[in-house]
Structure 1
Amino acid sequence: MPALTRHWTQRVFSISYPTVCLGLLLGGGALPAFIPYASAQEQPRTYQIAAGDLGNALARFASQAGVSLSVDPSLVRGRNSAGLSGNYSVEEGFAALLRGSGLSLSEVGESAYTLVPASDASLQIQTTRVTSVSDPARTYEGERYAGGQVARRSAQGLLGSKDFMESPLSMTTYTSEAVKNQQARTLTDLTASDPAFRSTNPAGGRFEQFTIRGFSLFNSDVAYGGLYGVLPTYSIDMEMADRVDILRGPTQLVNGISPRGSVGGSVNIAPKRATDQPITEFTGSYISDSQTGGAVDIGRRFGEDNAFGLRFNGVKQSGDTEWDHQSVDREMAVLGLDFRSDRLRLSTDIGHTERQTDAPQERVLVNAAAPVPDADDVHDNFAQPWSKAHTRDTFGALRGEFDIDDSMMIYAAVGARESDHDFLRHNVPVTNAQGDFSVQPRDFTRDESVRTANVGVRKWLQTGPVSHELNLAADYFYMDFENGGGRYAATPSNLYDPITAPAPGVRTRDDTKTYTENRFSGVALSDTLGFMDDRLLLTLGARWQRVKVDDWADGIKQPTAYDEKKISPSVGVLFRATDQLSLYANYMEGLSQGKIAPSTSLNEDEIFPPFISRQIEAGAKYDFGTFAFTAAVFRIRQPAYETAAPVGNAALGTFGPNGKRENSGIELSMFGEPLPGVRLLGGVMYIDSELTDTNGGDNDGNRAPATPKLNANVGAEWDLSTVPGMTLTARTIYTSSQYLNQANSKKIGAWQRYDLGARYAFRVDDKDVTLRASVENVLNERDWISAGASDDSEAGLTISAPRTFLLSATLGF
């Protein structure tokens, strides 16, 4: 037996199930590889086939489909497949696995097939296809990695859609399947599985906010199909997401300037699109204490070659949470339309969301003279029953891309949002060890208007042995917002024994009415050069950026307005050492909008000049076929900000810059299916965060506030072989201690959370049914899970959510 034949045969046997019998090539001839299953299934079935070696992918698919396949190893040697995820018939599955391979399927008997070279010569060369920029929701065969929780590809703005093994960035892309199975309602719920993420605002609070790699990330900086500022500002419903793309580190080259200047990473929500298979699903849900609701997901394609698509997602959920006198009422409706032809692709998304929260949780502020409160003693909702948060957002986007030829594409997108936000709230400033604080009611309104656009061109070409992927793009972002409100008389309360205050009556003062206009624009150019048959990829790029901010207070133009410009260079290199191992490194700079003084400071809403962040990173990615492991080391630098301690009898301090901060860390992630029926998702992140050049050098060498040294997340799923369709789930989340201030004089302890769950999938009268049940915070631990927003110094302690039960049932028609 020739050596290459033995090698190929060993590789096939290594991934096959014990019942699979593959043919061996003897003397250059091929013998059939018979797989002893009864017959091929005519109806579509669900498959999860990992991307990788084509021979392995075909063998695994044939095994799962129950058919026999005869393969000449010389035909598949050195070829790869993008894998498979979803519902397919046997022939549809084979066609998807073989796409672009130059091979086709030939039926040689009942449930028996062989491979032959494709008669169409155009299939013998894998054509370079344009990958979507303007519509990152575009479907890719084999997009989901083994296990279905993570996708192989993600939208990377200027650089287009990239497989995680081909990108010089640290990335994780969560799928809609992960959203459903985790019963994630908002982005906070989904990112609980990611070690780089931590939520810094209470569940059931007025808004969502996070840290990523220790730096703040606001919902304003979450893109929708590649466009910033289109999604709702305060909370994002996950039912609208087909994928959630997470890139770590400053990403201004690929995405442009984000509205709030996040530098730890970026998030992109890919909108849902109709698939070739009709979708009709209804999900009923229950969340303790008494929240009930329903969600519909409808998708259809029409016309010749299914050119036209429609996808609608709607949600209505309301009821009480586990916190006393707190309730949440949310509504969402999103319609996605698209058209596709050989060269032209168009899509549009229109959405509206509303959220009403009564008695939303607030961060707990700790006075300079008070110790850190004991979270174990907090048993009741310390937010007043009359406090509320009501947000309304209407948004939309239009995208298009056109293939001029097989080596050039042009694209464009525009988006808009109109929002009205109304709050009646109060801070929780604890002043002593007994937990006393003063309730000063405040009504607050914020109206936002956003317009955004981008346009670009991508070109592939070859210069001798070097390939090029050239990208040129321009983008524009405009947002104006107006804040107003007033204050009411203060009354006493207590963190451990809350006192219900009377509902606010007559204002004691009106707040300053502020109006702000943000205009961000930029032009970016990049070239990805491929050497050694594209095993070595070098990306060189730069983005010219302009940040222009004008603001007014009670109609008077403020001196804090600015107009800044900068060119930010970036470089990334990736080396495919083997088909399974990628090594990468990058250096990125970014210009970000200046920080805005938080509501917990005397100079609330003051805008500071833009700043530059810098990151250097190196890492490795290993793809085992059904299980992947990534590792990265990074260092990110940017200015540090702090709300200084109050002076005299003042209740609040003044927010402003104070030195620089550097976050250096190690990040390890894993995802996939290491064993059949066993899935893992999670990782660990260690950060060494240091302050330098602080005022007077008082805090030099200290750790930046709200930045834990260690985050760890491990989620596991186990399909029970004894009960087909039954899956058990478990997750643990750990976060080490954090400081509250730059002086490192106060800190909160480490915390951990345990979640358990199960789901059961079955069919009733040809209808797919999935039942899900889970418990979050099984031990009902009371912890401070965050010390605030680290780089904004919007200090404040975030309390963990109580034990919460979640139930849902999905019926597919």
Structure 2
Amino acid sequence: MNFIEPKLNVLTVAVLTALSFPVFAQTTELSSVQVNASADASAEGLAPEYAGGQVAKGGRVGLLGTQSNMDTPFNLTSYTSKLIQDQQAANVGEVLLNDPAVRVARGFGNFQQVYLVRGLPIFSDDMSYNGLYGLLPRQYLAAELIERVEVLRGANAFLNGAAPGGTGLGGAINVVPKRAPNYDINQATLGIQDGGEAYLAGDFARRFNDGSTGVRATIAKRDGDTNVEGESRELTLFALGADFRSDKLRISADLGYQEHNLQASQPNITIAADEAIPPTPRADRSIAQPWTFSNSEDTFGTVRVEYDFNDTVTAWLAGGIREGVEAGNFANPTVDEPNGDYDANRFANVREDSVQTAEAGLRFKFNTGAVKHTVSTSAMIYELESKNAFNFYDSFSGNIYNPQPVPEPTVVTFPGGSFNSPFVTETSKNSSFAIADSMAFLNEKLLLTLGARHQEIEAMSFNAADGSQSASYSESATTPVAGVVFKINPQYSVYANYIEGLVKGETAPQTANGQAVTNAGTVFKPFKTEQVELGVKYDGGNVGGSVSVFQSEKPSYGIDSTNTFSQIGDQTNEGLEIMAFGKASKTVTVLGGLSVLNTDVDGQDAIGAPSAQANVGLEWSPEQVQGLAFETRAIYTSSQYADAANTQEVPSWTRLDLGVRYVMPVGNDQALTLRARLDNVTDRNYWASAGGFPGSGYLTIGNPRTLTVSASLDF
């Protein structure tokens, strides 16, 4: 497939203009401006790192802006670029392996990353980018583009608006782009992974005009065979971020490009309804057909402007665009015999996405007697036009334990449009208006937030074969929020919240259980979820953490006995989460926690919702050798079900990861960092996840033992 060129429109010009602003700003005399670790178009700036540097002390809380963890009535963890680089994480999914409330699954029929938070999915295209939805690459996001990964656990329709892809009921993920810090960055990294995949990256940053203007550029390339026999992948990316800050005006802009290509990667595997979950195939050998692939290319940009009218009134405006194209050739097996025999169909598709999104807001502060008010208002809009074409081909047979190549099927059994000129198959438009009052009582010991967001969701779906409209709806809903924080003392705060989730209605898939869905393409109305959460947070200066309990309720959709997609019940999630982070001693850093989840879907456990997940990460830096650090991380996931009837139980799994790094000076003001990491030390074969799309319980194979080494030179 020939990837399309990105469209040049008004917003593209705005991004390019903002990115070029630092060049012109050099000719203007400005007062010196002190910049936080990452300058951006927000008065709060980037939340500082917590002790140990693996997480931050706070993060973006949607409409409410950047807040300290101790001040917000929500459950938030912000993972830093230091953690990302030290662990040699290649993508968002690998960063989120550190979170006990999150597990990584796979999209339906493709290789899209799906993040299960509190047992509910967030599609990768429902992540926000500096607060805006829909701008990041739809299937996979490379870690080199990221300054922070912020995970807000729980419903969040008021804070962020409804996620346009129809997920996010269990949480929200916001990606913070890189900015130039107060010092110059000149960093080059070389790496290799066993199997032969090579890695090259560069990161460069400068500040100008007494610190008021910054530019940061990032490039990266990955290419080669992986340690899964028969599998290869390639990644190319470039990102440019710029910011300008004066006493009252702040501007930031980003321009990014990512191309991600996969060849013969491990497919999703469905187990037939009458079969037990079989043993996991060898993880180091791909069962995919050599002619399968998934290619994607995305170009995206954002601009954000913030202006202080005075000490009490601030306004902001942000916008962004994304142009994305995908092409894939898939063959996902359905195992129908205990010995691993399967049937599969070849499925090929192309997709083209155009996204435009914007937000405008106003925040003002005032007092009524002893009560301090911060009132925030926001208006948001999101628009998507998606084109799609697909073909189903003849079926073939194989065995997951003895994979053999077969000729690529060529007889089309179910056509779906033209690959050269696909029709529009989906349009959607989300718009909303929100207002909140954050009040501080008792000398800011008691914090109360009240607000509401009115959301309108419009969606239309079209037939891929001829472009004719097949379904549409236009609905609106108002979602309230109430949150309270009481600071017992500087170390402890307790919080509670009531908040709702809202997503667009589900769209019936084309196929399920190896057969055509009877109402394929039908779009259902939006639905809400309701969440109540209570918790306590601790900040001891060097060690912090939280304990929280929650309950949420939502309708559940899936495939019924007639292979029709519909609402099949209601789901209630109840859970306990314990988080810990920081420096346990002068030489030991800790990061991890425990998540206990109970799900109920009409008396059964939800698909792909383990009852317990635990992470323990430790880093030891011996005092005797300066610059040396050892890492270890254990990940545990309890058993889960792959079917709604709870007859197919996926076994629990535990994974051990080890790492080491050494930083040594090289010449004057230069440093060389050597890193080595061994993931899945015991080389365990395991089913990493079940499901990720409503009503489906397909399985994914966990990665085999993987050795990654790299060297970063700061010069």
Q: How high is the TM-score relative to the length of structure 1? A: 0.80
1:444 to 349, 352, 368: 349
The question of 1:373 aligning with 2:373 is answered no
2:218 to 297, 313, 320: 313
The question of 1:644 aligning with 2:560 is answered yes
The question of 1:592 aligning with 2:524 is answered no
* Cα distance change, pair 206–181 in 1 and its aligned pair in 2 (3 A): same
* Cα distance change, pair 132–768 in 1 and its aligned pair in 2 (3 A): closer
Give the equivalent residue in structure 2 for 1:125: none
The question of 1:664 aligning with 2:566 is answered no
Give the equivalent residue in structure 2 for 1:620: 536
2:643 to 731, 741, 744: 741
Does structure 2 conserve the Cα–Cα contact (< 8 Å) formed by 1:133 and 1:160?
no
Could you report, residue by residue, the CA deviation over 1:473-497 in whole angstroms, capped at 9, with x for unpaired residues?
A: 1000001111112122222111111
Q: Greater Rg, structure 1 or structure 2?
A: 1
* Cα distance change, pair 212–317 in 1 and its aligned pair in 2 (3 A): same
Shift of 1:503: 2.8
Could you report, residue by residue, the CA deviation over 1:517-556 in whole angstroms, capped at 9, with x for unpaired residues?
A: 0100000000001100111000000000001001111445
Give the equivalent residue in structure 2 for 1:722: 624
Q: How does 1:194-233 map to 2 (within 5 A)?
A: 194-201=99-106, 206-233=111-138
The question of 1:784 aligning with 2:706 is answered no
1:610 to 526, 548, 551: 526
Give the equivalent residue in structure 1 for 2:302: 397
**Amino acid in structure 1 at the alignment position of 2:74:** L
**Amino acid in structure 2 at the alignment position of 1:638:** K
Shift of 1:560: 3.0
**Amino acid in structure 1 at the alignment position of 2:301:** G
Shift of 1:557: 4.6
Shift of 1:259: 1.4
**Amino acid in structure 2 at the alignment position of 1:287:** Q
Shift of 1:367: 1.0
Does structure 1 conserve the Cα–Cα contact (< 8 Å) formed by 2:227 and 2:284?
no
1-structure distance, mates of 2:188, 2:352: 34
Q: Secondary structure at the match of 1:542?
A: strand
2:427 to 476, 494, 517: 517
Q: Secondary structure at the match of 1:158?
A: helix
Give the equivalent residue in structure 2 for 1:122: none
Q: Secondary structure at the match of 2:106?
A: coil
Does structure 1 conserve the Cα–Cα contact (< 8 Å) formed by 2:558 and 2:566?
yes
> Mean Cα displacement is larger for which, 508-517 or 752-761?
508-517
Does structure 2 conserve the Cα–Cα contact (< 8 Å) formed by 1:283 and 1:295?
yes
2-structure distance, mates of 1:204, 1:608: 21
* Cα distance change, pair 309–132 in 1 and its aligned pair in 2 (3 A): closer
Does structure 2 conserve the Cα–Cα contact (< 8 Å) formed by 1:205 and 1:360?
no
Shift of 1:138: 6.9
2-structure distance, mates of 1:643, 1:560: 19
1-structure distance, mates of 2:545, 2:386: 43
Q: How does 1:160-559 map to 2 (within 5 A)?
A: 160-201=65-106, 206-261=111-166, 262-303=168-209, 305-375=210-280, 380-505=285-410, 507-511=412-416, 515-553=425-463, 554-555=465-466, 557-558=468-469
* Cα distance change, pair 237–368 in 1 and its aligned pair in 2 (3 A): same
* Cα distance change, pair 151–208 in 1 and its aligned pair in 2 (3 A): same
Give the equivalent residue in structure 1 for 2:489: 578
Does structure 2 conserve the Cα–Cα contact (< 8 Å) formed by 1:137 and 1:225?
no
Does structure 2 conserve the Cα–Cα contact (< 8 Å) formed by 1:371 and 1:432?
no
**Amino acid in structure 2 at the alignment position of 1:528:** S
* Cα distance change, pair 131–355 in 1 and its aligned pair in 2 (3 A): closer
Could you report, residue by residue, the CA deviation over 1:647-671 in whole angstroms, capped at 9, with x for unpaired residues?
A: 5xxxxx3322111000000000011
Could you report, residue by residue, the CA deviation over 1:109-163 in whole angstroms, capped at 9, with x for unpaired residues?
A: xxxxxxxxxxxxxxxxxxxx999998469744x7000000001120112101101
Does structure 1 conserve the Cα–Cα contact (< 8 Å) formed by 2:461 and 2:521?
no
1-structure distance, mates of 2:424, 2:331: 20
Give the equivalent residue in structure 2 for 1:708: 610
Q: Secondary structure at the match of 1:441?
A: strand
2-structure distance, mates of 1:279, 1:567: 46
Shift of 1:306: 2.0
2-structure distance, mates of 1:731, 1:780: 15
* Cα distance change, pair 344–672 in 1 and its aligned pair in 2 (3 A): same
2:665 to 763, 771, 774: 763
Does structure 2 conserve the Cα–Cα contact (< 8 Å) formed by 1:590 and 1:614?
yes
2-structure distance, mates of 1:638, 1:338: 41
Does structure 2 conserve the Cα–Cα contact (< 8 Å) formed by 1:736 and 1:751?
yes
Could you report, residue by residue, the CA deviation over 1:726-761 in whole angstroms, capped at 9, with x for unpaired residues?
A: 100000000000011111111111101000110001
2-structure distance, mates of 1:162, 1:379: 43
Q: Secondary structure at the match of 1:191?
A: helix
2-structure distance, mates of 1:280, 1:132: 16
> Mean Cα displacement is larger for which, 481-490 or 344-353?
481-490
2:62 to 157, 162, 174: 157
Counting matched residue pairs gives 671
Q: Secondary structure at the match of 1:499?
A: coil
2-structure distance, mates of 1:731, 1:522: 41
Identity %: 35
Q: Secondary structure at the match of 2:144?
A: helix
> Mean Cα displacement is larger for which, 518-527 or 379-388?
379-388
2-structure distance, mates of 1:619, 1:739: 29
Shift of 1:599: 5.2
**Amino acid in structure 2 at the alignment position of 1:614:** E
Could you report, residue by residue, the CA deviation over 1:266-292 in whole angstroms, capped at 9, with x for unpaired residues?
A: 011111111121111111111121111
Shift of 1:337: 1.1
> Mean Cα displacement is larger for which, 346-355 or 495-504?
495-504
Q: Secondary structure at the match of 2:412?
A: coil
Displacement over 6 Å in runs of 4+: 129-134, 202-205
* Cα distance change, pair 571–132 in 1 and its aligned pair in 2 (3 A): farther
Shift of 1:325: 1.1
Does structure 2 conserve the Cα–Cα contact (< 8 Å) formed by 1:225 and 1:269?
yes
Q: Any unmatched runs of 5+ in structure 2?
A: 1-32, 418-422
> Mean Cα displacement is larger for which, 160-169 or 597-606?
597-606
Shift of 1:782: 0.5
Shift of 1:559: 5.1
Q: Any unmatched runs of 5+ in structure 1?
A: 1-95, 100-128, 648-652, 692-699
**Amino acid in structure 1 at the alignment position of 2:659:** G
Shift of 1:558: 4.0
2-structure distance, mates of 1:613, 1:202: 22
Q: Secondary structure at the match of 2:691?
A: strand
Q: Which has the higher contact order (CA 8 A, sep 6+)?
A: 2
Shift of 1:772: 0.7
Q: How high is the TM-score relative to the length of structure 2? A: 0.91
**Amino acid in structure 2 at the alignment position of 1:731:** R
Shift of 1:708: 0.5
**Amino acid in structure 2 at the alignment position of 1:669:** M
2-structure distance, mates of 1:131, 1:266: 24
Does structure 2 conserve the Cα–Cα contact (< 8 Å) formed by 1:774 and 1:807?
yes
Could you report, residue by residue, the CA deviation over 1:55-81 in whole angstroms, capped at 9, with x for unpaired residues?
A: xxxxxxxxxxxxxxxxxxxxxxxxxxx
Shift of 1:674: 1.4
